[in-house]
Chains A and B, each alone.
Chain A
Amino acid sequence: MAKAPARTSPAPKKTASTPAAASNREQPRDPVPYDATPEELEKFYREMLLIRRFEEKAGQLYGLGLIGGFCHLYIGQEAVAVGLQSALDGDKDSVITGYRDHGHMLAYGIDPKVIMAELTGRQAGISKGKGGSMHMFSVEHKFYGGHGIVGAQVSLGTGLAFAHKYRGDGGVAMAYFGDGASNQGQVYESFNMAELWKLPIIFVIENNQYAMGTSVNRSSAEDQLYRRGESFRIPGMQVDGMDVLAVRGAAEAALEWVRAGKGPVLMELKTYRYRGHSMSDPAKYRSREEVQAVRDKSDSIEHLKKLMTDAGITEDKFKEIDKEIRAIVAESADFAESAPEPELHELYTDVLVEQY
């Protein structure tokens, strides 16, 4: 199962842009890395660190039996959600994702306490404890889940885009899915309709290299996933998903295209998850060395930290941020542990909206 390094590790930092287009059709412009202000850099850093520390804590609570069922951690992929969602307009754009959804919620500024309380199945959780890790939603933030069936969110997201276009509200839908979901049939049904009707949607493949235990090149005839939209005339971009500024820069190019009414864009974000597929995954399908190599060479938070250090941020400042983030996460964990479980009558509520 040994794979060529180029396929198992994220794309090198310098190839953040789209490879040459295969045809002479108009394409989105070549993305350039985002030119962030020092404040924005710090904001990205805080958000990514919050996701990392939150997920580490979730893993810990799982080990203590406080979180049950399936729990899919986002550690390693933080730059994707933060880079992309920072480019969206929170007032009108919508986001939908699969079951590895904690990071996307945190990147949208949703209170870590209600997310963690959902993971522990408490009444105060964002879904009243009835959804769990994979089924969280915030209609207020235009975050539409949190879906447990691999690939479902791609068709649902296409529907969100349909609604944006139908209402003419100027919004764009962003539908995240993984390299595994990219082999589901409904993804291509959705691509077809999205391009046919020029729907405002960005399809985001978070290629973390493994669909559960099956690597991309053991499962995908075309393993350059950004090309998967070509037969539908959907332009593709391949982006270094470990570099938040590359991600943000690419998001801007994609958004320009979509907001101009030119239809969908398919973005492939090359990334890596450090943990198993879920908490119960022993990850025997890859070596410890492979994981360590990515951590050492390509970690998104370390990369950003280096950029900030170069810009003059001191180690003391990083320590201060880390302390603040740890406090937020500890508070969310305390809240999630101490909040009461749902009342038993909640078993029967929310099955239907109306009374018949």
Chain B
Amino acid sequence: MAIELKMPALSPTMEEGTLAKWLVKEGDTVKSGDILAEIETDKATMEFEAIDEGTIGQILVAEGTDNVKVGTVIATITGEGEEAAAPAPAPAAAPAKDVAPAEAGAAVASAPTPAVPASAGTTEKAAPAERASDPAIPEGTAMVRLTVREALRDAMAEEMRKDDRVFVMGEEVAEYQGAYKVTQGLLEEFGAQRVVDTPITEYGFAGLGAGAAMGGLRPIIEFMTFNFAMQAIDHIINSAAKTNYMSGGQMRCPIVFRGPNGAAARVGAQHSQNFAPWYASVPGLIVIAPYDAADAKGLLKAAIRTEDPVVFLENELLYGRSFDVPEVDDFVLPIGKARIMRQGSDVTIVSYSIGVGLALEAADQLAGEGIDAEVIDLRTIRPLDTATVLASLKKTNHLVIVEEGWPVCSIASELAMVAMEHGFDDLDAPVMRVCNEDVPLPYAHNLEKAALIDTPRVVAAVKAVRNRA
């Protein structure tokens, strides 16, 4: 029978891709290892190889098609002596082994799943109706739709044009164009002196960057992910964060350490951790964790400019999401200011990074049930904008914190303490937190989903504090 070729998942976070080019046509004979097509993922253009021998039956998705969901049947192969046949109506009918996707590269090979391999907290619903506009952006500002990835790249490029002390350094930032494509195009514009590929040597280049900052430059140090920054955390804390204080204000370390943080998708315990509470506990550091593209851009530009060392925590699952970004010449946002994402009167939901999306979804659902939630995006984790949180608490008298991270010693537990110390009289119910389960992140799809926060948990927590459970 005909073998179905399905759109392969070529990265841990890929949900859809572009079928850039077919390298075979109907009737061609192919054998295992032949390149069938080129597919653009959210990160790169990948080759799609044949696993089975046979003849290309039908090509079902034309080249140049965008947004082809992972798992879509894109062509069929007939075995020897078989007639080219139409694809089976239901993908589930095909035995799993016969539809193994192209293993286009060992590093990105991942098993096909019939459904979109979204883990908890990664699905994006249609944009909800009422969003508070950012007060930092004037009414009527023209907007451009950008992904978070593009916004980050634009922020770096703009600052590099403006200030020749700014350079980017890290693994695969230059010739590879960024492991997550965040530095795409920078090498071409700024050259190898300012876009520097390093060996795999986090401790070394974090220290080198800190030294360069002490010596008067403005380094942007990219960690491929913040999981690897644990090798370098000594320099982030002991060298960068403490220098200004230890020198009595004499020696500064203006540096940005940036990269993806938090759980990605199905990459297991060692590659899935939110370090925001770690860095946020350190005096002398600025810690920023944006949610949308405008904040990513405006705050990264501010981070590059400030005289203080900054840990800038991005989220891989957000890189590909698009948001409106103000189309202004020099869009810089203030560090240390939270943003009210949605006005509400019944409960305050505070979050940051990817959790903001869940909080907004939850608020929309709650609105349908008569609960009017205010959603605050912290944006900067250190210094915390406690004034905005407390003002909202004063209004709503209920507080829920949503954090994609472990519960113990978290930003959530810190905010609960802030509410105790400074907002106790405003609380009509105990503060609640919605955090990940207190376990290393498991690999299995169902277990990972169970470990991570999601919208239903936020909804349930809000109902609990409003006594509507």
CA distance A160 to B211 in the complex (A): 5
Asked if A156 and B216 make an inter-chain contact with CB atoms under 8 angstroms apart, the answer reads: no
Asked if B211 and A356 make an inter-chain contact with CB atoms under 8 angstroms apart, the answer reads: no
CA distance A286 to B247 in the complex (A): 35
Over the window 143-162 of chain B, the binary record of Cβ atoms lying under 8 Å from chain A Cβ atoms (1 yes, 0 no) is 00000000000000000000
Asked if A351 and B199 make an inter-chain contact with CB atoms under 8 angstroms apart, the answer reads: no
Asked if B247 and A135 make an inter-chain contact with CB atoms under 8 angstroms apart, the answer reads: yes
User: Given B238, B254, B383, which contacts A149 in the complex, CB threshold below 8 Å?
Assistant: B238
Over the window 376-393 of chain B, the binary record of Cβ atoms lying under 8 Å from chain A Cβ atoms (1 yes, 0 no) is 000010010000000000
A116 smallest CB distance to B (angstroms):
15
Knowing A152-B239, A159-B214, the reply to whether A186 touches B249 (Cβ < 8 A) is no
For residue A186, which residue of chain B has the nearest CB?
B203
User: Given B193, B206, B214, B246, which contacts A131 in the complex, CB threshold below 8 Å?
Assistant: B246
Q: Which of B212-261 touch A at CB < 8 Å?
A: 212-217, 219, 234-235, 238-239, 243-252, 254
User: Does any Cβ of B come within 8 Å of A273's Cβ?
Assistant: no
Knowing A149-B238, A162-B212, the reply to whether A155 touches B204 (Cβ < 8 A) is yes
Asked if B238 and A94 make an inter-chain contact with CB atoms under 8 angstroms apart, the answer reads: no
Over the window 267-282 of chain A, the binary record of Cβ atoms lying under 8 Å from chain B Cβ atoms (1 yes, 0 no) is 0000000000000000
CA distance A161 to B212 in the complex (A): 8
- Main secondary structure, interface of A, reads mixed
Q: Which residues of B contact A167 (CB under 8 A)?
A: 216-217
For residue A127, which residue of chain B has the nearest CB?
B248
A155 smallest CB distance to B (angstroms):
2
Over the window 184-213 of chain A, the binary record of Cβ atoms lying under 8 Å from chain B Cβ atoms (1 yes, 0 no) is 011001101100100000000000000000
Q: Which residues of A contact B336 (CB under 8 A)?
A: 356
Q: Which residues of B contact A152 (CB under 8 A)?
A: 207, 234-235, 238-239
Q: Which of B180-216 touch A at CB < 8 Å?
A: 193, 198-199, 201, 203-216
User: Does any Cβ of A come within 8 Å of B286's Cβ?
Assistant: yes
User: Does any Cβ of A come within 8 Å of B33's Cβ?
Assistant: no
| Contacts A/B (CB < 8 Å), 19 sampled | A126-B250, A129-B248, A130-B245, A131-B246, A135-B247, A136-B247, A139-B247, A149-B239, A154-B207, A156-B210, A156-B214, A159-B208, A159-B209, A160-B212, A163-B216, A353-B244, A353-B307, A353-B308, A354-B307
Q: Which residues of B contact A144 (CB under 8 A)?
A: 211, 214-215, 251
Q: Which residues of A contact B193 (CB under 8 A)?
A: 166
B272 smallest CB distance to A (angstroms):
25
CA distance A159 to B211 in the complex (A): 4
Q: Which residues of A contact B306 (CB under 8 A)?
A: 353-354
CA distance A139 to B239 in the complex (A): 15
Q: Which residues of A contact B334 (CB under 8 A)?
A: 356
Number of A residues near B (Cβ < 8 Å) is 49
Smallest CB-CB A-B distances: 4 pairs: A159-B211, A155-B207, A189-B204, A128-B248
Q: Which residues of B contact A352 (CB under 8 A)?
A: 244, 284, 286, 308
Asked if A189 and B201 make an inter-chain contact with CB atoms under 8 angstroms apart, the answer reads: yes
Asked if B199 and A196 make an inter-chain contact with CB atoms under 8 angstroms apart, the answer reads: yes
Knowing A155-B207, A185-B203, the reply to whether A94 touches B215 (Cβ < 8 A) is yes
Residues of B that sit less than 8 Å from A by CB: 167, 193, 198-199, 201, 203-217, 219, 234-235, 238-239, 243-252, 254, 283-284, 286, 306-308, 334-336, 380, 383
CA distance A156 to B283 in the complex (A): 21
For residue B237, which residue of chain A has the nearest CB?
A149
For residue B383, which residue of chain A has the nearest CB?
A356
Asked if A159 and B248 make an inter-chain contact with CB atoms under 8 angstroms apart, the answer reads: no
Q: Which residues of B contact A125 (CB under 8 A)?
A: 248
Residues of A that sit less than 8 Å from B by CB: 94, 96, 125-131, 135-139, 144-149, 152, 154-164, 166-167, 173, 185-186, 189-190, 192-193, 196, 349-354, 356
Knowing A149-B234, A192-B204, the reply to whether A163 touches B211 (Cβ < 8 A) is yes
Asked if B251 and A145 make an inter-chain contact with CB atoms under 8 angstroms apart, the answer reads: yes
Known: A137-B243, A159-B208, A160-B215. 8 other contacts (CB 8 A): A130-B247, A145-B251, A152-B207, A156-B210, A156-B239, A159-B209, A186-B203, A193-B204
Q: Which residues of B contact A146 (CB under 8 A)?
A: 246
Asked if B244 and A350 make an inter-chain contact with CB atoms under 8 angstroms apart, the answer reads: yes
CA distance A147 to B242 in the complex (A): 11
Q: Which residues of B contact A94 (CB under 8 A)?
A: 215
Asked if B211 and A350 make an inter-chain contact with CB atoms under 8 angstroms apart, the answer reads: no
B382 smallest CB distance to A (angstroms):
9
CA distance A129 to B249 in the complex (A): 11
Q: Which residues of A contact B238 (CB under 8 A)?
A: 147-149, 152
For residue A185, which residue of chain B has the nearest CB?
B203
CA distance A129 to B456 in the complex (A): 53
CA distance A167 to B307 in the complex (A): 19
A173 smallest CB distance to B (angstroms):
8
For residue B284, which residue of chain A has the nearest CB?
A351
User: Given A128, A145, A154, A356, which contacts B249 in the complex, CB threshold below 8 Å?
Assistant: A128
User: Given A149, A157, A353, which contacts B252 in the complex, CB threshold below 8 Å?
Assistant: A353
